[in-house]
Structure 1
Amino acid sequence: MRTSNRPKHVGILVETDDSWGRNIVEAVCRFGRGRGWTVLITPRDPQGRLRLPTVWNGDGVIASLRSEASVRHVESLELPVVDVGNMVPKHDWLARVATDDAARGVMAFDHLRERGIEHFACYAPPIGRYSDIRSLSFKEAVEEGGFECAMYESTSEDAAGWLTNYSNVRQWLSTLPRPLGIFAADPYPARQLVEICALESVRIPDDVAVLSGDDDDLLCNVASPQISAVELASHRIGETAAQTLDRLMKGRRPAKRPVLIPPLRVRERHSTDILAMADHEVAEVLRYIRDNAGQGMTVSDLLREFPISRRRLEKRFRAVLNRSPAEEIRRVRMAHVGRLLLDSDIPIAQIAVEAGFATSASLSQAFRQHFGATPSEYRRRNDLKEN
């Protein structure tokens, strides 16, 4: 029998075989320590499934629900539940805190399009790690951008053993135009895609640029070439899920709508290090911007470096990227500031100097216009590892 004065017992049914799951668990446990929770992490039944034991006397559950069987299990507990995934339908009796798949799709498309890619595909074999929403969101972003997206069609062989089903993937790749940007649903299919391209002598990123829909410190970094990935706000998802569960255990009802957390950024690695555009002069200008925008360059600097008029440069940028040189400089500059905020402990005043801003206030104003948050809010909201 549960008593009100004992610590809350919380079960975490989240796989820890990737960075996303480990970050979720870490953030939940950090929040729980501050509340005096007793936490049971990833318990399994004799079949190896994530299941809470019948002897467990719990108060709430945070889970990544991947099947109807897992839904039935947590429902039978008759406890407050927060789902941190998006693989099963949302039920009224549970709360959900998950990645905003639409924002992920747009971010992935923008990253590939910024490299001049005009041919797109999505590789998301059914391996039980993600929902169709992830790939469909990327497809929708591509089509809204005015392009077509080739979708990998799964077969019975994929369901039986996708890791060895190279022949179907090779055949699919052979039918697609180059240069091609492929969104792989997560690091597992992304890694497989890189391996298949190596076997087929398909050059990455020159022929095929590969972008994973989620990041993993091991899989994305040990691949050859290393794989670019959408970095999710997994610590923030875990923290928000824990806060939500805390309210549910105090008697609040689950919200009908899920809480959707946008991804942080694309972590760029070699697999998308390409500027695949017919206008080679614009490509050279873009390389120059990416090498120098973090130091506070201007359009005037571009005109001094390249023998082209401002009007012609503007026209060609609009034709290739649908934005002006000034907008591209600002975008790259803000991305540079964002990386410094998340990847370092450098004070914001020093970041302002390194990024070419006169004062911290001018950086804060420009950053808020671009990201909708001040640098300090952005760092605090998105980098929960140090909190």
Structure 2
Amino acid sequence: MSNPHGVHRIALLFNANKVYDRQIIAGVGAYLASTRVSWDLFMEEDFRCRLTGLADWCGDGIIADFDDPQVCAALREVNVPVVAVGGSYTDASRYPDGLPYIATDNAALVRLGYDHLIEQGLENFGFYSLPVAPAHRWAEERERLFDGMVARDGLKSFIYHGHATSAAGWSDAIEALIAWLKSLPKPVGILAATDARARQLLQACMMADIPVPDEVAIVGIDNDPLARTLSRIPLTSVQQGTEEMGRTAAHLLHRMLHGADCSDTRVVVPPEGLHVAASSLHQTRRSPYVMRAMHYIRQYGCLGIRTEQVANYVGVSRSLLEEHFRRSLKRSVHQEILRHKLEIAQELLRNGECSLADIAVRCGFTSVQYLYTVFRRELGCTPKAFQESQQAELQE
């Protein structure tokens, strides 16, 4: 389809409140920035606001989230090129007919998270899904894939759909989630359908005083920066190939706008990888005192806690706790607190989103100078040199 003015009016039907959708939108933007394509983009914060009257929309093309059946229904009568984006499915009937479809590889996402939990030496596995609903069929697919993988290994999976997230029902939802967590055999590895659900698991474990990852190891899906910010215990997460999905969808629509027939095209995009953090790094510990102490340190280690506070939380004397730490970890409680602070500081430096002053404050160091002193003493380099070395590795 040609446009006499050279500018095409394109609607992006995505929910900008979801990290998955935002990352796909970012991929569309990356495609536009790397080409000479000239598009006038229309986008509501929530695509559902745009579903009514789409048949009368005077645009040139649409890229839409087809995981929601309402979108499929609303776009049936549209007479402009449409590129569908969503999850991959084992059942081919779940794909839209006659439309190009760009999918995140649900099987690969689940496999990456499940294999990581197996590597931690775990033998009990759970999946925290979403309530059954037509709009959650992608979560249902991930749940089904997870259950199948666990069954093929001769094990039983524990599936929990939970409650829909709402302010009114939040207390009941958390209480029910805690009850499910307490009912599980321990230790257990849990894969959540999204990072938002994984963060709920972390909150429930904190409220119920369940050590993470000693008793419950958690993996999410999305690698959501907001989930990382709101979680005291850093979250392990599978990064979807969402930006590549957005770029691919934009490229296909560009071709369709110029007459190409892409109706039979189906592209399944693999995940970018697994971002490993403390929430899933399960280690078998013989000492329950060390387990409880580590749970406390992961939550409050960057807030200036001291060994006495950790011992008080565990409910034993400082000398007894130190003895258990030396026996199990070959280091003192203070050294473990410092190790935790350094680990968080290294992660923040890798992300490159915070200044050194902010990192010092967030990790519980009294000043930037002290941060430098600790890095030189423990790692043999400055924070700046560490950050530069990490960035150089990523560019290789």
Farther-moved stretch of structure 1 (6-15 vs 189-198): 6-15
CA distance in 1, matches of 2:151, 2:198: 22
Q: Which runs of 5+ in 2 are unaligned?
A: 287-327, 330-386
Is 1:122 the equivalent of 2:131?
A: no
Show the counterpart of 2:76: 75
CA distance in 1, matches of 2:100, 2:255: 11
Deviation of the 1:92 alpha carbon: 1.4
**Aligned counterpart in structure 1 of residue 204 of structure 2, from 176, 196, 199:** 196
Are the aligned partners of 1:61 and 1:80 in contact in 2 as well (CA < 8 Å)?
yes
**Aligned counterpart in structure 2 of residue 229 of structure 1, from 233, 237, 243:** 237
CA distance in 2, matches of 1:171, 1:268: 27
Show the counterpart of 1:247: 255
Deviation of the 1:50 alpha carbon: 4.3
Q: For each residue in 1:258-314, what CA deviation from the matched residue of structure 2 results, as whole angstroms up to 9, or x when unmatched?
A: 311111111111111223499xxxx99xxxxxxxxxxxxxxxxxxxxxxxxxxxxxx
**Aligned counterpart in structure 2 of residue 94 of structure 1, from 70, 75, 99:** 99
Q: Which runs of 5+ in 1 are unaligned?
A: 285-339, 352-387
Are the aligned partners of 2:10 and 2:41 in contact in 1 as well (CA < 8 Å)?
yes
SS at match of 1:206: coil
Which of the two has higher C-alpha Rg? Answer: 2
Show the counterpart of 1:260: 268
SS at match of 1:215: coil
Deviation of the 1:48 alpha carbon: 6.1
Q: 1:69 to 1:41 in 2, by over 3 A?
A: same
Farther-moved stretch of structure 1 (120-129 vs 239-248): 120-129
Are the aligned partners of 1:185 and 1:214 in contact in 2 as well (CA < 8 Å)?
no
Deviation of the 1:196 alpha carbon: 1.0
**Within 5 A, what are the aligned runs for 1:1-387?**
3-4=3-4, 6-33=6-33, 34-43=35-44, 49-51=49-51, 56-86=57-87, 89-126=94-131, 128=135, 130-153=138-161, 158=164, 163-164=170-171, 165-256=173-264, 258-276=266-284, 344-346=391-393
Q: 1:40 to 1:170 in 2, by over 3 A?
A: same
Deviation of the 1:87 alpha carbon: 8.5
Farther-moved stretch of structure 1 (174-183 vs 119-128): 119-128
CA distance in 1, matches of 2:36, 2:53: 23
Deviation of the 1:123 alpha carbon: 0.4
Deviation of the 1:44 alpha carbon: 6.0
Q: 1:345 to 1:269 in 2, by over 3 A?
A: same
Q: 1:158 to 1:96 in 2, by over 3 A?
A: same
SS at match of 1:136: helix
Count of aligned pairs: 286
Instruction: Give the superposed CA RMSD.
Output: 3.2
Q: For each residue in 1:159-204, what CA deviation from the matched residue of structure 2 results, as whole angstroms up to 9, or x when unmatched?
A: 8776441232222222211110001100111111111111111111
SS at match of 1:76: coil
Farther-moved stretch of structure 1 (108-117 vs 57-66): 57-66
CA distance in 1, matches of 2:2, 2:139: 36
Are the aligned partners of 1:10 and 1:59 in contact in 2 as well (CA < 8 Å)?
yes
SS at match of 2:86: coil
Q: 1:257 to 1:108 in 2, by over 3 A?
A: farther
CA distance in 1, matches of 2:169, 2:71: 23
Deviation of the 1:347 alpha carbon: 7.9
Return the letter of the residue paired with 2:86.
G
Q: For each residue in 1:352-381, what CA deviation from the matched residue of structure 2 results, as whole angstroms up to 9, or x when unmatched?
A: xxxxxxxxxxxxxxxxxxxxxxxxxxxxxx
Show the counterpart of 1:374: none
Identity %: 26
